[in-house]
Amino acid sequence: MAGHSKWANIKHRKQRQDKARGKEFGKLIRLIEAAAREADTSDPELSPSLDMVVQKAKDADVPKDTIERACKRGAGELDEGVAYDSATYEGYAPGGVAVLVDILTDNRNRTASDVRSIFTQAGGSLAEPGAVSFLFTRRGQVVVEAEGVDEDDVMLAGLDAGLEDIEAGDDTLVAWCAPTDAQGLRKVLEEAGMAIVSSGSVMVPSSTVPLGEVSDAQRVMRLVDRLEDNDDVQEVYANYDIDDDVMAQVELD
């Protein structure tokens, strides 16, 4: 069951906490509104998809009243609700790194133009649908604080709740499962006394592209960071593999 993939490395980002926090809140609010509109309810208990994004917002410390208003706006209970379209763009970063970009927008033409421009300016390119997505698989995950918890604890608690694999990181353990099992597995691990960092579903690459030079890593990270800075972009997934020493130099740049 246990194992260590490159997940922590793949998801590593340059830390810009103050700026990123405000953007994260805005994106999560938009995600809640879209999920509530699709479910036609403001009650997370009546919609697994809404429940998942509400939990994601709670994990990010979005205030409770902000979450509740977003649910009501999305469900049409408040006048200022906005309809959003979702889409996924596929492309390549410099060095042949595959990139998936999930967006949620009120103006798809604007967002498509912005995403294309970001790829081009960073030395990458957009690709046709299906060119990149086959390299990724959607999986559910529950991230657990590792202090005081070992892999056997997670395994014993989660085997009957859809647990498929465990990945050890420096400060966390990642419990992998099917996307539809993430919330149930989270509940079981919480009931076992484990501190949960986050839960949800992500796209995991089947293979990675090693970036051994600082200049190559900087070019890829520049593209990823610019995409994540866009208000319409919800998630960016890429299959790069950057050595810790190289990443440390990128962070200091």
Residues 58-110 have pLDDT tens digits of 999 999 999 999 999 999 998 766 789 999 999 999 999 999 999 999 999 99
CA 184 to chain centre: 19
| Residue 174 pLDDT > 70 | yes
Q: Are 29 and 70 in contact (CB under 8 A)?
A: yes
Residue 2, pLDDT score: 38
| Residue 4 pLDDT > 60 | no
What band does 251 get if pLDDT is binned at 50, 70 and 90?
Answer: low
DSSP 8-state secondary structure symbol assigned to residue 106 = S
Q: What is the mean pLDDT of residues 215-230?
A: 92
The CA-based angle 70-74-75, given to 5 degrees, is: 120
- Which of 22-31, 103-112, 152-161, 179-188 has the lowest average pLDDT? 22-31
Higher pLDDT, 40 or 6: 40
Domain covering 86-134+208-252: architecture: 2-Layer Sandwich (3.30)
Q: Which residues of 195-229 are buried (b: 16+ CB within 10 A; e: fewer)?
A: ebebbbbbbbbeebbebeebebbbbbbbbbbbbbe
Q: What is the β-pairing status of strands 97-105 and 233-238?
A: antiparallel
pLDDT digits (tens, 9 = 90+) for 133-150: 999 999 999 999 999 998
Q: What is the β-pairing status of strands 2-3 and 165-168?
A: parallel
CB atoms near residue 72 (< 10 Å): 17
> CATH 3.30.70.980 spans which residues of the chain?
86-134+208-252, 135-205
**Given this structure, which CATH class describes domain 135-205?**
alpha beta
Residue 116 in tokens: 């294309």
* 3-state DSSP assignment of residue 157: helix
| Residue 6 pLDDT > 60 | no
Share of the chain above pLDDT 90, in %: 74
What band does 252 get if pLDDT is binned at 50, 70 and 90?
Answer: very low
Short-list 196, 211, 164, 230, CA closest to 3: 164
CATH 1.10.540 fits 17-74, yes or no: no
Higher pLDDT, 222 or 13: 222
CA 92 to chain centre: 18
